[in-house]
Structure 1
Amino acid sequence: MVRAWAREHVPALTAILSIASLALVFGAALQVIPAAALPRVESLLNAIPHVNAIISLSAIGTILLGVREIRRGNVDRHRALMLASFALFAAFLLLYLYRVTLVGPSDFPGPSAVRTYLYLPFLAIHIALAVICIPFVFYALLSAGTRSVSEIYGTNHRRAGRVAASLWLVSFSMGIVIYALLYHVY
């Protein structure tokens, strides 16, 4: 019953989930979410950037393998890998939201010229791609999750999946560069 309803409302569910996700991200980044509502675990807060870099590298791997498997016609492996990619993305997001809610966005520790002319434009592109990616990810996930394999070919799943995978790969890769700049280069 729920699956049938969701199947008929994939675009609306995509919009609702995208808006809710972005509201959480921007609410945390703009310090709207009350930090007092969350327990503060310093060791976890310190580990999150490093854990998220590992999650990002893992997600890049699962996305690339998922693309390879669908090109080979292996739908079951593709599905498993893309669900793993989404699980990694969700874990990344939860950790990111926790840290940003309690600590706020990370300050760039390098020279102001590098911050102004390299880091901030690079960060803006990373954020824009991550924001644009979210509805494509939800659409691909929802269209695949509410239909049989044979029915998926009658949807925009393939097109949305290509865009989602491309944006995800670039965004995760840029995130690793940002991590390196914040925690290793400077």
Structure 2
Amino acid sequence: MKRSLAVAVFLAAGLSSSTPDYFSVKRKFEAIEKQQLKPGTRMQLSEKELNAYFREEAVRAVPEGLSQPRLELGEQQASGSAVIDFVKLQKAQGKPPGWLMAQLLAGEHTVKVTARIQSGAGRATVNPQSVEIDGIAISGPMLNYLIENYLLPRYPTAAINRPFELGHRIERLDVRPSSVAVVIGR
């Protein structure tokens, strides 16, 4: 009986797409959310763990229209990229685009967003620096226009270019090229 249970557990684990990095970062997130960490703790989240998390969660959140999600960390900045089929994505969200937009957005597109991240005193601000769609960079006034006229009307709770509370007693996020340190405050 014990052997068949062990075989079943082994097979189930083998069928799961989750990785040890995913489970590691999930445990870390749970410790942060449940406020189990002492003040002054620096919880390190590696780029590898965060990528495992984003790959797993992206499939759950967006089963159609998004693939190959990837996160790259830099000095107080992060870049996220993915292959996106905007038409499939909007249909999956129950908001199919009109005919003209469907023609313009048809097919898969490689999208990369780079943002500067500043934090302290329990708050953070995410400032998009650039967006690339199929290698074409969008920044400055054009990026601000897209944020104001496309992103925010569709996602009004998105905190872009303005401070927001980190919650869970998080004092700040120290973003570095290979990891993010979550610093717990009082």
Common fold by TM > 0.5: no
TM-score w.r.t. length of structure 2: 0.25
Q: Quick check: which one's helix share is greater?
A: 1
Q: Tell which has more relative contact order, 1 or 2 (C-alpha 8 A, sep 6+).
A: 1
TM-score (norm 1): 0.25
Structure with a larger share of its residues in strand? 2
